[in-house]
Amino acid sequence: MPISWEDIRGRLAKPTQKKANEAKVVLKRVTGPTSYATGGFDVTIGDLSQIVSAIVVAGSGYTAEVDFANSNANKLRIKAYSAAGTEVTAGTNLSTVYFTIMAFGH
């Protein structure tokens, strides 16, 4: 899965009328659910009221992505993938897998 980068300075200023130097960066580490649901699991970033962009990295041989279409305000939907690149099957126990999230917003 390639890593992409987006300059949030312009994106942040347009919809929120905030300046780039008013953005916050939050780093959060969570474990996955004991029973993964197809489509992902939600993580709330309590230090932000509005997330503009985010990056997620999974451990233990898994990969992950933020599903922005199903995320809103300060809640992110995280989808987990196996080493083969397919979404983790429903019911998989990810409670020992760490997901590190870097979220940008205000």
Per-residue pLDDT of the chain (106 residues; tens, 9 = 90+): 455 555 544 444 445 555 556 788 999 999 999 999 999 999 999 999 999 999 999 999 999 999 999 999 999 999 999 999 999 999 999 999 999 999 999 8
Topology adopted by domain 8-105: Immunoglobulin-like (2.60.40)
List, edge to edge, every strand of the sheet that includes 41-44.
Answer: 41-44, 75-81, 63-66
**CA–CA dist 18, 104 (Å, integer):** 13
User: Quick one: CA dihedral 23, 11, 4, 99, positive or negative?
Assistant: positive
Locate the domains of the chain by residue range: 8-105
Gyration radius of the chain over CA positions? 14
